[in-house]
Amino acid sequence: MAIIPLALPNKIGFSLPFLYKPITTRAGGGGSSCSAFTCRSVSSPTSFTWDDVVQASLPDYAPNDSSDLSGFFEKIKYCNRGSSEIKSEFIPLVIEDQIVGYIHNGFFDNYLRRFKDVFVFVPSDSRFGTTVTLNKTLSTPEERTRVVGKVIKSLAEEEKELIPGIRNELYPVTPSFGSPPYFSLERAAAPYFGIKAYGVHMNGFVKRDGEKFLWIGKRSPMKQTFPGMLDHLVAGGLPHGMSCVANLIKECEEEAGIPLSLSNQAMSVGAVSYVDVDGYRYERDVLFCYDLELPGDFIPKNQDGEVESFKLIPVENVANVIRRTQFFKPNCSLVIMDFLFRHGYIGPECLGYLDLLQSLRSGDTS
């Protein structure tokens, strides 16, 4: 495990991939100047190093952008793609008179309709209109889990790129958090069924001489999702049958080698949410946020091979990386932005403060 010591270079002179470059504009030909952003892109978002991250984080790299929230709004927008017109292409998945998900009509027609003993198309439901449901013969959560799981396995074997990243990890299918699940679904298939998915995300921070630092991880290049991108210290989806606290403790140990004596001090601080629609995928995610103040001499050590390396970076510099680049896994940006609000790094003097605060909970948090 490589631990990268904090080292801030003195010179900046490179073309940074996925960099938001500030430009100055004036609204209506007058008034105060504000920053807008343009984006330079490269073929792969993983083609950056810690040196690139550090240089993009420096205040002098883009002076006068410290109160500009445009880059933060870009991250919110990316996590909440999909117009109302696109969303209308999805059909409610209804179980026992409750909407538990949304399935794209193309995904149903092309892949699910032929499994007539599992999925039933209802052209006119008196309450929800056109819907998809499960065959009434599947009356128990266990039966539904088993049969739908066989369908997912069959589809994955037929067309490997259709539902990538099969993990054999189950998510509960439920109309709201904490209610009894109607069945459980393979995690990788969750967006294709539009079910509500929950996760635990933790910012690990350190205080030194009155300044706060965040531990940031760089994902393994072998990860199936967002390889090589940046994460906050600990995160994990919430599987069926596990509490948030138990899952957080497990992820702390696996992802950062944080012992129970420290992880059980993590503080629950709220949640962020988003709705992201892209192709056949309909993500309705709620991320429960946690903070953990770590000892100054603690060094994270990844245990499961999913993190390539870690770096301890001043919070203000982390904010700059999120605002100026696309180096972070998109939903992790939201969790860190929530941290920036709660710890006073984004204040009401910033234009758009309330809109940005509200947009961190753009999804259904039920």
pLDDT in tens, 293-325: 999 999 999 999 999 999 999 999 999 999 999
Residues 155 and 203 in one domain: no
On whether residue 6 sits in a domain, the answer given is no
**Residues linked to residue 26 through DSSP beta bridges, in sequence order:** 33
| Contact between 137 and 156 (Cβ < 8 Å) | no
Burial degree of 161 (CB within 10 A; 0-12, 13-18, 19+): exposed
Q: How many CB atoms lie within 10 A of CB 165?
A: 12
| Contact between 19 and 325 (Cβ < 8 Å) | yes
Percent of the chain past pLDDT 90, that is, above it, reads: 80
38: left (phi over 0), alpha (psi -120 to 50) or beta: beta
Look at strands 281-293 and 196-208 and give their pairing: parallel
Mean pLDDT, range 75-86, rounded to an integer: 94
Residue labelled with tokens 């929530």: 338
Residues 224 and 346 in one domain: yes
Per the structure, the complete domain to which residue 309 belongs is given by 50-79+196-360
Question: Residue type at 251?
Answer: E
| Contact between 321 and 231 (Cβ < 8 Å) | no
Look at strands 234-237 and 196-208 and give their pairing: antiparallel
pLDDT of residue 16: 37
CA angle 343, 348, 354 (to 5 degrees): 95
pLDDT of residue 192: 98
**pTM, rounded to two decimals:** 0.87
pLDDT in tens, 26-41: 333 333 223 322 232 3
On whether residue 318 sits in a domain, the answer given is yes
Encoded tokens for 92: 């409610």
- Check which CATH number belongs to the domain holding 183 and give it: 3.30.750.160
Percent of the chain past pLDDT 70, that is, above it, reads: 87
CA distances from 72 to 164, 253, 357 (A): 29, 30, 10
How does DSSP assign 168-179, residue by residue?
S-EEEE-SSTTS
- Residue 292 predicted with pLDDT over 70: yes
- Check which CATH number belongs to the domain holding 295 and give it: 3.90.79.10
pLDDT of residue 19: 44
* pLDDT band at residue 60 under the 50/70/90 scheme: confident
pLDDT in tens, 179-237: 999 999 999 999 999 999 999 999 999 999 999 999 999 999 999 889 999 999 999 99
Encoded tokens for 231: 């994460």
- Residue 158 predicted with pLDDT over 60: yes
pLDDT of residue 46: 54
> What is the C-alpha separation between 123 and 20, in angstroms, rounded?
47
- Residue 62 predicted with pLDDT over 80: no
Pick from 323, 324, 231: nearest CA to 16: 324
Residues 343 and 208 in one domain: yes
> What is the C-alpha separation between 239 and 128, in angstroms, rounded?
28
> What is the C-alpha separation between 304 and 75, in angstroms, rounded?
28
* pLDDT band at residue 42 under the 50/70/90 scheme: very low
Q: How many CB atoms lie within 10 A of CB 18?
A: 19
CA distances from 218 to 208, 256, 303, 353 (A): 23, 12, 14, 29
Pick from 102, 279, 275, 144: nearest CA to 152: 144
Q: Pick from 142, 166, 193: which residue ends a domain?
A: 193
Residues 102 and 69 in one domain: no
Residues 93 and 233 in one domain: no
More confident: 83 or 14: 83
- Residue 4 predicted with pLDDT over 70: no
Residues 207 and 66 in one domain: yes
Q: What contacts 151, CB < 8 A, 6 or more positions away?
A: 112, 115, 118, 119
Residues 74 and 94 in one domain: no
Mean pLDDT, range 83-95, rounded to an integer: 94
Residues 180 and 168 in one domain: yes
Residues 67 and 163 in one domain: no
Q: Pick from 193, 219, 240: which residue ends a domain?
A: 193
Mean pLDDT lowest for which of 24-38, 66-80, 132-146? 24-38
> What is the C-alpha separation between 243 and 266, in angstroms, rounded?
14
Domains of the chain: total: 2
pLDDT of residue 39: 31
Residues 59 and 134 in one domain: no
Average pLDDT score over the chain: 88
Q: Pick from 125, 158, 193: which residue ends a domain?
A: 193
| Contact between 234 and 250 (Cβ < 8 Å) | no
CA distances from 103 to 6, 88, 188, 287 (A): 46, 10, 14, 22
Mean pLDDT, range 250-265, rounded to an integer: 98
